[in-house]
Chains A and B, each alone.
Chain A
């Protein structure tokens, strides 16, 4: 079955750029979605169709998808961005989530 691989954790100082990767076979052939989940809350989509931001997602969030890797980039990371982030894609009529990345802002 298809698998998406994310690093378990990423740390970034406030104000710097955080990059969270999501790897899968020929991932660029699929749309990738990114969700943010804060403790005790439901997930919220922050990027859809690789690069698009829903209304309400700050401009500091951006996405890319090339080859076997999609990347969520947070520029000027703020303390409020500390959360778990999950990538998602479709494969053979099923939804696949990455294992999640805990972003720590310190």
Chain B
């Protein structure tokens, strides 16, 4: 069965960096696009970034462009999110989601359980 397990969350000071990982299994990772989506406490879903199956295309939300980098290692079936220059408003549960297509232009058909990132001094 498809499994996505996020890790790397925690408490970090404003301005610092953090890297999230999403370990996957149960599907051919290299065939599908992948997303990061976040949800601030008590708030709605906010899309963060998407990467195509081969990593050739990456798109970002305006709120994180230039600070966050999405990447993947198809040999390790793992998705990453490098988060730099973190701000208090980046505090959220971060979900990884498998896209329904290779190019990452569909929808999230499987989601992880999320990892909490708290940005606070």
Contacts and interface: CB of A to CB of B under 8 A. Distances in A.
A3 to B, nearest CB: 12
Interface of A: 1, 33, 35, 37, 42-45, 48, 54, 84, 86, 88, 90, 93-100
A25 to B, nearest CB: 18
**8 nearest A-B pairs in the assembled complex, by CB-CB distance:** A95-B47, A100-B44, A42-B111, A33-B107, A97-B45, A93-B59, A99-B44, A86-B45
User: Is the contact region of chain B dominated by helix, strand, or loop, or is it mixed?
Assistant: strand
B46 A1 contact: no
A43 B59 contact: no
User: Is the contact region of chain A dominated by helix, strand, or loop, or is it mixed?
Assistant: strand
Nearest to A47: B107
Contacts of A45: 107-109
Nearest to A54: B109
Given A35-B45, A54-B109, A86-B44, A42 B114 contact: yes
Nearest to B105: A90
B59 A94 contact: yes
A43 B4 CA distance: 13
Contacts of B95: 42-43
Contact of B62 (A1, A37, A48, A88): A1
